[in-house]
């Protein structure tokens, strides 16, 4: 008998009980849909009780946290071992739980096809959605029995009008839900699985960002920008609330960047092959992400022409299955109907008003909804001395952001339709946060700097939070939309 009252070997048995309860909670959450919204929190009950009554357990957890933090610090100094457990404990796990149980969602017709397509793929092995024609309330059609714009009839099959790049990510929740016997003919279950998948994608993206940011030399600077990205950006109100294509783009982009950072700018052949695959998935999720992909490729090509060519070849190979899928399902290599409809007449480059709107509009402006992005601009003038990232990483980040801003401003619907905040710029928010990390690390060394960071975080949180607490995205239903009125801005919406 130990001094704390436990018997030798009991800790491992209690650990197993804790993991079993957590697994059961997740299984219940997947199977029971919205009726088990808080089930993921079951996994916290037993550890919480053990923490309250068991001194030995508290010492174990403190020791584990200290060791995990040491791994993070070693990683930031250039160690080869990636601190996965720290990322899971400090970023992925907490953020997933927060997003999974908060009850907020922002799925629209743009995101509606993802879960039904995944269900059809798991259950019947195809992407024809006619099996949902009899669903009530109607899933595929409007009140006048016309197909909703997010679906299209192609050679007798009802399929998504949007790219299907998010479907592989949705398999992570839909497949186990199917095996567990979830009701996959229920619209409520579809909404629940969309929210759950979005929560998982947002948490994974945040974990990848945390690992990439800590590689830049300052764990505390990385924590600041990780928290800021989590709670004061579109990661909270776009990626985490629905299966928007942006979630796949930022996840695959951060995976490719983490490989680059982990290898100190010189990944091996197979690591580069994975990067090529990841970049291809970005394009499959959202074709306009191709501009960021090209910028990434040029960044690699300039530093290593041989590796740049190999990266491009692997990217083509990674995209090939999608081209075959498009040919089989849609009869062309381009894919869904919304892509084909993006003709040259929908674009107008370098117009002043859209550019100002993308950056400063009270309804959609980048710097309004992410005021901390100013830190990334400051990075342009910051010192490169002691820069821990791969050569040219800041130039890549800021160039990719600039190109993407120009692209979004050129689109006829630069405001992004029914959404909240600067949705169309979500793809490059992690790049802005990475560029801001060294600046944040520098500011953390001064009291005034810490105060400034706190103000940016609080302001960013206050403009994002109404989307979750007050469904402020319903501002889009107010007609006509006023994209420039401060008094009528979405974050002031009260229903």
Q: Output the pLDDT for position 386.
A: 56
For 284-333, write each residue's pLDDT tens digit: 999 999 999 999 999 999 999 999 999 999 999 999 999 999 999 999 98
CA 173 vs CA 73, 110, 127: distances in Å:
33, 19, 17
Answer whether 392's CB lies under 8 Å from 303's CB.
yes
In three-state secondary structure terms, 383 is coil
Answer whether 202's CB lies under 8 Å from 240's CB.
yes
Q: Please report which helix (H) or strand (E) contains residue 157, including its range.
A: strand 157-160
Q: Is 335 left (phi over 0), alpha (psi -120 to 50) or beta?
A: left
Answer whether 290's CB lies under 8 Å from 274's CB.
no
- Helices 167-179 and 10-32 pack at an angle, to 10 degrees, of 100
Distance between CA atoms of 327 and 452, rounded to whole angstroms? 52
Answer whether 154's CB lies under 8 Å from 329's CB.
yes
CA 101 vs CA 36, 91, 96, 173, 495: distances in Å:
9, 16, 9, 15, 23
Q: Output the pLDDT for position 337.
A: 66
Backbone dihedral angles phi then psi of residue 136, each to the nearest 5 degrees: -125, 130
Q: Output the pLDDT for position 4.
A: 44
Task: Find where tokens 């996840």 sit.
Answer: 251
List Cβ neighbours of 2 (8 Å cut-off, separation of 6 or more): 8, 56
CA 195 vs CA 6, 99, 104, 241: distances in Å:
41, 8, 8, 6
Burial class (CB in 10 A: 0-12, 13-18, 19+), 16: exposed
Q: Please report which helix (H) or strand (E) contains residue 123, including its range.
A: helix 114-124
Answer whether 376's CB lies under 8 Å from 398's CB.
yes
Answer whether 226's CB lies under 8 Å from 205's CB.
no
Q: Output the pLDDT for position 16.
A: 94
CA 479 vs CA 36, 192, 474, 476, 488: distances in Å:
36, 29, 11, 8, 12
List Cβ neighbours of 378 (8 Å cut-off, separation of 6 or more): 436, 439
Q: Output the pLDDT for position 346.
A: 77
Q: Output the pLDDT for position 187.
A: 93
Q: Output the pLDDT for position 205.
A: 98
Task: Count the residues in the chain.
Answer: 495
Distance between CA atoms of 229 and 210, rounded to whole angstroms? 10
Answer whether 76's CB lies under 8 Å from 218's CB.
yes
Q: Output the pLDDT for position 336.
A: 85
In three-state secondary structure terms, 264 is coil
- Helices 290-303 and 245-262 pack at an angle, to 10 degrees, of 10
Burial class (CB in 10 A: 0-12, 13-18, 19+), 341: exposed
Burial class (CB in 10 A: 0-12, 13-18, 19+), 248: buried
Q: Which stretches in the chain have pLDDT values below 50?
A: 1-6, 8
Structure tokens at 33: 């849909």
Structure tokens at 184: 């996959």
Q: Output the pLDDT for position 115.
A: 98
Q: In 3D, which of 167, 154, 152, 159 has the Cα closest to residue 119? A: 167
């Amino acid at each position: 008998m130990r001094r704390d009252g436990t018997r030798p070997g009991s800790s491992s048995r209690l650990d197993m009980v804790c993991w079993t309860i957590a697994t059961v909670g997740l299984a219940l959450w997947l199977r029971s849909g919205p009726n088990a919204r808080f089930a993921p929190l079951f996994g916290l009950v037993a550890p919480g009780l053990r923490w309250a009554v068991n001194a030995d357990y508290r010492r174990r957890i403190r020791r584990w946290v200290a060791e995990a933090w040491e791994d993070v610090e070693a990683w930031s100094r250039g160690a080869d071992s990636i601190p996965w457990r720290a990322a899971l404990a400090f970023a992925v796990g907490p953020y997933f739980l927060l997003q999974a149980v908060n009850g907020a969602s922002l799925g629209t017709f743009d995101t509606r096809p993802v879960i039904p397509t995944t269900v059809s793929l798991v259950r019947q092995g195809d992407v024809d959605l006619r099996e949902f024609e009899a669903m009530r309330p109607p899933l595929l059609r409007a009140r006048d029995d016309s197909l909703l714009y997010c679906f299209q009839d192609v050679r007798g099959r009802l399929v998504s009008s949007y790219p299907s790049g998010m479907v592989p990510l949705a398999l992570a929740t839909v497949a186990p839900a199917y095996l567990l016997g979830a009701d996959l003919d229920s619209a409520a279950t579809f909404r629940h699985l969309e929210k759950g998948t979005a929560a998982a994608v947002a948490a994974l993206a945040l974990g990848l960002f945390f690992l990439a940011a800590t590689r830049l030399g300052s764990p505390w600077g990385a924590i600041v920008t990780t928290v800021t990205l989590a709670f004061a950006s579109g990661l909270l109100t776009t990626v985490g609330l629905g299966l928007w294509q942006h979630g796949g783009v930022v996840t695959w982009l951060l995976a490719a960047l983490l490989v680059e950072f982990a290898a100190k700018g010189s990944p091996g052949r197979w690591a580069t092959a994975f990067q090529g695959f990841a970049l291809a998935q970005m394009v499959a999720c959202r074709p306009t992400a191709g501009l960021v992909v090209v910028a990434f490729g040029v960044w690699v090509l300039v530093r290593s022409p041989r590796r740049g060519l190999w990266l491009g070849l692997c990217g083509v190979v990674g995209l090939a299955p999608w081209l075959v899928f498009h040919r089989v399902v849609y009869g062309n290599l381009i894919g869904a109907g919304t892509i084909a409809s993006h003709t040259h007449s929908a674009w107008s480059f370098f117009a002043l008003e859209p550019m100002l709107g993308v950056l400063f509009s009270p309804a959609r402006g980048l710097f309004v909804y992410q005021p901390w992005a100013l830190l990334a601009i400051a990075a342009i003038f910051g010192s490169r001395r002691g820069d821990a990232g791969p050569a040219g990483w800041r130039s890549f980040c800021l160039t990719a952001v600039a190109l993407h801003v120009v692209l979004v401003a050129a689109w006829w619907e630069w405001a992004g339709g029914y959404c909240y905040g600067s949705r169309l710029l979500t793809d490059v928010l992690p790049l802005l946060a990475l560029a801001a990390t060294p600046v944040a690390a520098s500011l953390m060394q001064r009291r005034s700097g810490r105060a400034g960071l706190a103000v940016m975080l609080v302001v960013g949180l206050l403009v994002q939070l109404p989307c979750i607490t007050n469904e402020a995205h319903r501002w889009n239903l107010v007609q006509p939309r006023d994209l420039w009125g401060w008094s009528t801005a979405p974050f002031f919406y009260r229903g």
